[in-house]
Amino acid sequence: MNGSTSEYLPMLIQSVFALGFVAMVLIITHLIGPSRKSAKKLENFECGVEAKGNARLPFSVKYFLTAILFVLFDVEVIFFYPWATNFKEFGMDGLLSMALFVALFLLGFLYLRKKQAFKWE
């Protein structure tokens, strides 16, 4: 084992411990926990709406499209965060860059409008 590999020994130990812990807990709960088998207990969810039928229900593509677009434009906000915290240091350059960034998204938004992606009916 050469030097560089030995540096990762702690990681190996860590992994072994982590896996070992999970395995141990699972085994121990299985062994020492009380088990009552009734129809109610074997269901996936003990409360809430009763789960019945196939999970692969058809739902509107419109819904999916809107959801995806929401995620897309929502994630954009993440990029604002580092810029906003260093707003002053970036100065005018930063403002312009951000304006360009927003403009590109705006273009995307306009394109979607034009393509009628937001029309529900």
Partner 1 sequence: MTTLIFLSLLGFLVLFIGAFDYKKLILPTVIIGLIVAFFLNAMDWELTATSFYGMIDYNHYAVSFTGLMIVSVLLLMLVASYHFRNEGSHIADIYALMIFTLIGGLLMTSFSNLVMLFIGIEILSIALYILAGSRRLNIASNEASLKYFLMGAFASGFLLFGITLIFGVTNSFNLAEISDFVADTEELPTLFSTGVMLILIGFAFKIGAVPFHFWTPDVYQGAPTFITAFMATVVKTAGIAAFYRLFDSCFSGIDGTWFKILWIICVATILLGNITAVMQNESKRMLAWSSVSHAGYLLIPILALNELSSSAIFYYSAAYSIASITAFAVLIGLSKFQNDLPLDQYKGLAKNNPIMTTALVVSMFSLAGIPPLAGFFGKYFVFLTAMQSGLIYVVVIAIIGSLIGIYYYFKPLIYAFNNEGGSLEKIETNFAFNFVLMAGIVLSLLLGIFPDILRNLPG
Give the whole-angstrom CA distance, residue 57 versus residue 86.
46
Q: Is 114 in the site for partner 1 (CB under 8 A)?
A: yes
Give the whole-angstrom CA distance, residue 11 versus residue 13.
5
3-state secondary structure of 113: helix
Residue closer to partner 1 by CB (options 80, 111) is: 111
Unique residue bearing structure tokens 């419109």? 62
Element (H, E) at 105: helix 87-114
Of 2, 35, 44, 54, the one binding partner 1 by CB under 8 A = 2
Q: Is 70 in the site for partner 1 (CB under 8 A)?
A: no
Window contacting partner 1 (CB under 8 A); options: 11-19, 31-39, 89-97, 108-116: 108-116
Contact residues toward partner 1 (CB under 8 A) are: 2, 4-5, 107, 110-111, 114-115
